[in-house]
Amino acid sequence: MIIKLIINNEEKEFTIKPGDILLDVLRREGYKGVKKGCGTGECGACAVLLNGRAVNSCLVLAAEADNSRIVTIEGIGTTEKPDPLQESFVEAGAVQCGYCTPGMIISAKALLNKKKDPTDTEIKKALDGNYCRCTGYVKIIDAVRMAVKKMKNK
């Protein structure tokens, strides 16, 4: 079957099989920033924005995503024009291996789209589906706070 999506503001059409998982389809189509840490919805490395909500793409059938808007990490910003969140993650030292980073940034983005000035508890809650072994989360939470500040000053 063919599905139509708007990915990172571009209209796309993909041919898929009914059982295909969204994560696999996105990676197959070149969105390699979407990572797989578990495949069972427990690590958040595969998070994307689906119609504005952060979801684990390993739990979504590609067919279900037909006609939706998706934002992957590649759509958040680039090395030339990074999003304040991406800059903050680097500046705060929140990126170690970086495998969890795309998913973390997607979850943080979903939060900041809704809340301009979240509390620490809200930040932790928004990121709670995202697993990181490297950082101990301390600098990841710093990074989100830093991004909030950056966005206010813009």
Partner 1 sequence: MPDKKGSIFKKKAKEEPVDAGNLKYVGQSVKKVDGLGLATGIAGFVDDIELPNLLYAKILPSPHAHAKILSIDASKAKKLKGVKAVLTYKDLPRIAHTTAGQGYPEPSPYDTFILDNKVRYVGDRVAAVAAETEQIAEEAIKLIKVQYKVLKPVLDMEKATEKGMPIIHDEKEARTIIPLNYDPKRNIASQVKALTGNMAEGFSNADHTFENIYYAHYASHAANETHIVITYLDGQGRLVIRTSTQVPFHVRRIVAERLQLSESRVRVIKPRIGGGFGGKQEVLIEDICSALTLKTRSPVKLHYSRSEEFIASRTRHPQRIILKTGVKHDGTITAIDMDVLMNTGAYGSHALTVACNTGSKVLPLLRCENVQFKAQTVYTNLPVGGAYRGYGATQGYIAMGIQVDEMAERIGMDVCHFYKMNHIKVGETSPVFKALGEGREGVLQTIESCGLDQCIEIGATAIDWYAKKERYERQTGQIRKGVGMVALMQGSSIPDIDMGAASMKMNEDGSFNLLVGATDLGTGSDTILAQMAAEVLDVPVEKIIVYSSDTDLTPFDVGAYASSTTYLSGYAVIKTAEDIRSQIFDVAAEMLKEKKADLYVKDSAVFSKKTGKNITYQRIGLHSLYEKNQHQIASVKSHITHKSPPPFSAHFVEIELDMDTGKVKVLKYVAAIECGRAINPKLAEGQTEGGVLNGISYALTEEYIFDRQGRMLNSGFDNYKLFYPADLPEIRTILIEGYPEPTGPYGAKSVSEICINGAVPAISNAIYNAVGIRLRKPPFTPEVVYTSINK
Round to whole Å and give the CA distance between 75 and 62.
19
Q: Kindly tell me which residue out of 63, 90, 134, 151 binds ligand FES, with binding defined by CB under 6 A.
A: 134
What is the total count of residues that contact ligand FES (CB under 6 A)? 21
Q: Given the rule CB under 6 A, which of 1-9, 85-93, 94-102, 144-152 is the region that contacts ligand FES?
A: 94-102
Q: Which residues contact 114 (CB under 8 A, 6 or more apart)?
A: none
Least separation in angstroms between residue 60's CB and partner 1 is: 18
58 binds, among ligand FES, partner 1, none (CB under 5 to 8 A by kind): ligand FES
Least separation in angstroms between residue 152's CB and partner 1 is: 20
86 binds ligand FES (CB under 6 A): no
Q: Which residues contact 76 (CB under 8 A, 6 or more apart)?
A: 83, 85, 86, 105, 106, 109
Q: Which residues contact 27 (CB under 8 A, 6 or more apart)?
A: 34, 36
- By CB under 6 A, name the binding residues for ligand FES: 36-39, 41-46, 56, 58, 96-100, 132-135
